[in-house]
Amino acid sequence: MLLRHTPKEITERGALTINPAKTCQPVGAMYAALGVHRCLPHSHGSQGCCAYHRSALTRHYDEPIMASTSSFTEGASVFGGMANLLESINNIFTLYDPDIIAVNTTCLSEVIGDDLNQIINRAVSENKIPAGKTVLYASTPSFKGSHVTGYANMLAALARHFAKNTGNRNGDITILPSFIEPSDMAEIKHILSGMGIAYIMYPDTSGVVNAPMDGAFRMYPKGGAPREKIIRSGDSRCALALGRAGTLEAARLLDTKCKVRTEVLELPIGISATDNFVETLIRTAGVTVPESLNVERGRLVDVLCDKAQYVYGKKVSIMGDPDILLGLARFCADAGMRILHIVSGTPAGAEWEKLIKEIAGPGVVVKTGAQADLFYLHQLIQNNKPDILFGNTYCKYIARDMDIPLIRTGFPIYDRVGHSYFPITGYRGGLHLLVRILDAVMDRMDRDSPEESFELVM
């Protein structure tokens, strides 16, 4: 009901954010850490902060998310959190025995000014870190950036701490995926394996936050990138970073620190972006495309050709994270859809906005950053109503108020299942996404059609 009071007239806001289209950095950092085998995320801040970060991931994946916290109280807030973190490190290794503790900061520890590097060095000097174990950290203040920024910072911390150049190049290709679902990470691995490519991918949350129920409790699921492989990434023949916003800093580190030749690609969402990913793999690995992959591509093209009349010309608005937005925009453009609005709460930069306009056309409205919120998206839709809205669970209120079909994509999705099991990347993921779009369009046609045109066959 409150959304119906959103004014249609758009006024520029310099400092006010209303219903932000993002969540905070530590959520993304925690997700990245979960993609490393036997790694325990640790939130250096209050217990309430950690509870929120775990809750956001638990609700999205319907899985128990394991993480620890420094549990700041008033004393730590005044005098600093060194004592809390040192005690936490000792307790965690004693009770939970992870191989790695990945510490992310919070607003509170950032404002206090805790020096994480100094604290971890002190833990080493006091023998609080057992032999063969590791503690690393990423700076992830919630008062700037978004969950994508936090993911990128933790991914960079993994590359900075582990990747080593021994001078002996191996034949592996390192893949750095952006903040995507475990099903998408599994789909990327499916393409690599099908092409016979030796690869290293991190983080890798497939088999971690979408692990099967087998009756056994595992503090650390079987999935996740092994530490040994992350170390080996420094000797890779090359690295492919999939999604600029989530991977650029880590890709730069592999380049500058380990002299690994690096390319930054778009996430392989849709036909053209997946084609580009596959062609890059052919060029860098010297392999050919297997027939199985040609079949997958052919199926996506076949369905798109068969049902083009239902999607061609449809107007869409898209909200989400920059890397996924770029992929969805290219997917919609490939399908002949008309993109009206692109909104992201994560700052993406002028180069990204320029690329979006090249894909969607000069008429698209693009806005990113703190003022690119759901209030603003609602105003845009009031002024130019799309046929379909892409976005996370929070977009359902706008979709209901404006009577628009919603295709749930991105993070978080709290009210539907499947996103952690069914990808949108690759040719198979593109087919899954296309079917979801067609279902939404045809459901709306059935709902709105008069009785004489309520068809059995579309």
CB 413 within 8 Å of CB 351: no
Residues whose CB is less than 8 angstroms from the CB of residue 136 and which lie 6 or more positions away in sequence, other chains included: 100, 101, 102, 103, 120, 157, 158, 161
The H-or-E segment that residue 87 falls in is helix 82-95
Neighbours of 278 (CB within 10 A): 21
Q: Any catalytic annotation for residue 435?
A: no
Query: Which residue carries 């549990």 as its tokens?
Result: 71
**Catalytic-labelled residue, pool 111, 124, 295, 435:** 111
- Give the residue from 114, 23, 118 showing the smallest Cα distance to 76: 114
Q: Any catalytic annotation for residue 111?
A: yes
Angle value at C-alpha 147, between 143 and 153, nearest 5 degrees:
85
Query: Which residue carries 């492989």 as its tokens?
Result: 229
d(CA 195, CA 348): 32
Per the document, the length of the chain is 458
Helix/strand/coil (H, E, C) string of 130-198?
A: CCCCEEEEECCCCCCCCHHHHHHHHHHHHHHHHCCCCCCCCCCEEEEECCCCHHHHHHHHHHHHHCCCC
Its sign, for the CA torsion 240, 39, 41, 210, is positive
User: Per DSSP, what are the bridge partners of residue 338?
Assistant: 315
- DSSP designation for 389: E
Its sign, for the CA torsion 145, 254, 242, 220, is negative
**Catalytic-labelled residue, pool 107, 258, 311, 316:** 107
Active site residues: 107, 111
